[in-house]
């Protein structure tokens, strides 16, 4: 039976293992945080789209990104309902330029106001839809619990929230409950109100025309048997160039691509991830190099016994793998806690998906493998005869 020297050498001293794991875990946390911030910003940008219950989304062709305020006629949405296999087509109203909220005792601030129809469920979350159906008064609104603290919203006691005196665009507003949406590049906070509320608070959102005649997004639900591509083409043909029809998932990818290519954010956080990788390579190399140096006599004995370069390469690579696992696990757990804390602190959508965990583990393994390949050269170059002097 072979002696697992790499394992025994890695675990023989708990203090040394703890120190090594801490160093590699630090690099793991760096990579997790850089990837988390990058994807958190992108996920936050499209979070509102992911919350919407729609197979297809109708938008003005001038709306280069969802936060921009280019709208289309409500009449086009009515026409869309006549297309076969269209189950429903609901309007969504989004206002920011005219939407300012002031909690008494705080400064008036711009906020995203999302107007929803009372006669249809537009969100994927049934609880969120149930709260929206309770907006039966024009001055009732739901507050995004993830809005930034600067607004002054009560976030824990519902009765205190309802008792807060507030104004939306100069008119008294009553905050009824919370929803969870999140902040993004453009919006520091959000509220949800009914379409009647949109008429009440933003009567001039469409100039002198009826405020609800200008729609920001059209949410189209299809029957279960519908061919999505065929319906999309039919809608586009019927409505013409006045609007664009998007598959919701395609629109989400389009939004992420817009912010990734039109802002320096993607480059900045990618460089940060690479820097974390390099930091980890240096830390892991120093750990392996020191360990090899401390055991040169033992390695010299093995070399004198006839063990060749491949054995030492496999030995160091195994030790690198063990170190990557021991460093990754605590780094992963700490990063998960940091994700939760930052999501609560900033309102960003910080999701630790299995794909992202796998990506960081692969980067950690690559980091330790590179370090092992660099460190093993000292063993290859060592002369057993000189090591015993």
Per-residue confidence (pLDDT) for residue 1, from 0 to 100 = 41
* Whether 71 and 215 share a structural domain: yes
Give the tens place of pLDDT for each residue, 266-309: 788 778 888 888 888 888 888 877 777 766 666 667 666 766 66
Domain count, the chain: 2
Per-residue confidence (pLDDT) for residue 229, from 0 to 100 = 92
* Whether 224 and 89 share a structural domain: yes
pTM here is 0.79
CB contact at 8 A, 27 and 283: yes
Give the C-alpha separation, 183 to 342, whole Å: 12
Q: DSSP letters along 297-346, please? A: HHHHHHHHTT--HHHHHHHHHHHHHHHHHHHHHHHHHHHHHHHHHHHHHH
- Average pLDDT per consecutive 10 residues, the chain (389 residues; last block may be shorter): 66 79 87 84 86 93 86 92 91 90 91 91 92 92 91 91 92 93 85 94 89 93 91 91 92 87 77 82 81 70 69 79 88 91 81 87 87 75 57
DSSP state, residue 281? H
Give the C-alpha separation, 203 to 15, whole Å: 68
Per-residue confidence (pLDDT) for residue 197, from 0 to 100 = 93
Nearest to 183 by CA among 109, 248, 238: 109
Report if residue 283 sits inside a domain: yes
Domain final residue pick, 242, 274, 294: 242
* Whether 105 and 200 share a structural domain: yes
* Whether 152 and 93 share a structural domain: yes
Give the C-alpha separation, 369 to 320, whole Å: 6
Give the C-alpha separation, 364 to 346, whole Å: 27
Report if residue 247 sits inside a domain: no
For the chain, count helices (H), then strands (E): 14, 13
Give the C-alpha separation, 141 to 174, whole Å: 6
* Whether 183 and 317 share a structural domain: no
Range of the domain at 107: 61-242
CA angle 151, 155, 159 (to 5 degrees): 110
Residues recorded for the chain: 389
Nearest to 125 by CA among 84, 66, 178: 178
* Whether 207 and 274 share a structural domain: no
* Whether 316 and 273 share a structural domain: yes
Total Cβ atoms within 10 A of residue 88: 18
Q: Which two tokens stand for residue 71?
A: 């709208």
Report if residue 255 sits inside a domain: no
* Whether 89 and 202 share a structural domain: yes
């Amino acid at each position: 039976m072979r002696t697992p020297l790499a394992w025994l050498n890695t675990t023989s001293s708990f203090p040394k293992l703890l120190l090594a794991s801490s160093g590699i875990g630090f690099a793991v946390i760096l990579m997790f945080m850089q990837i988390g911030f990058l994807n958190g910003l992108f996920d936050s940008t499209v979070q509102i789209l992911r919350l919407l219950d729609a197979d297809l989304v109708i938008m003005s062709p001038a709306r280069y990104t969802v936060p921009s305020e280019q709208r289309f006629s409500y009449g086009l949405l009515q026409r869309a309902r006549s297309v076969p296999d269209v189950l429903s087509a609901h309007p969504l109203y989004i206002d920011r330029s005219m939407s300012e909220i002031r909690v008494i005792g705080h400064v008036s601030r711009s906020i995203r106001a999302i107007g929803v129809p009372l006669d249809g469920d537009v969100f994927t979350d049934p609880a969120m839809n149930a709260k929206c159906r309770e907006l039966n008064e024009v001055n009732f609104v739901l507050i995004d619990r993830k809005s930034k603290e600067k607004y002054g919203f009560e976030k824990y006691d519902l009765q205190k929230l309802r008792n807060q005196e507030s104004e939306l665009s100069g008119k008294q507003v009553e905050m009824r409950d919370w929803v969870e949406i999140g902040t993004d590049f453009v919006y520091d906070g959000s509220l949800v109100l009914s379409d009647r509320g949109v008429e009440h608070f933003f009567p001039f959102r469409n100039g002198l025309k009826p405020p609800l005649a200008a729609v920001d997004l059209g949410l189209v639900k299809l029957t279960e048997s519908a061919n999505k591509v065929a319906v999309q083409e039919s809608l586009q043909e019927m409505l013409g160039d006045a609007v664009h029809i998007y598959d919701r998932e395609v629109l989400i990818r389009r939004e992420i691509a817009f912010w990734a290519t039109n802002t320096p954010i993607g480059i900045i956080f990618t460089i940060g991830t690479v820097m974390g990788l390099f930091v980890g390579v240096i830390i892991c190399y120093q750990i392996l190099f020191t360990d090899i140096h401390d055991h040169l006599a033992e390695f010299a004995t093995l070399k004198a016994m006839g063990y060749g370069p491949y054995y030492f390469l496999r030995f160091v690579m195994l030790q690198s793998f063990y170190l990557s696992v021991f460093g990754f696990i605590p780094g992963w757990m700490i990063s998960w806690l940091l994700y939760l804390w930052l999501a609560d602190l900033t309102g960003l959508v910080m999701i630790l998906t299995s794909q992202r965990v796998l990506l960081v583990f692969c980067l950690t393994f690559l980091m330790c493998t590179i370090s092992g390949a660099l460190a093993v050269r000292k063993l290859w170059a060592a002369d057993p005869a000189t090591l015993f002097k």
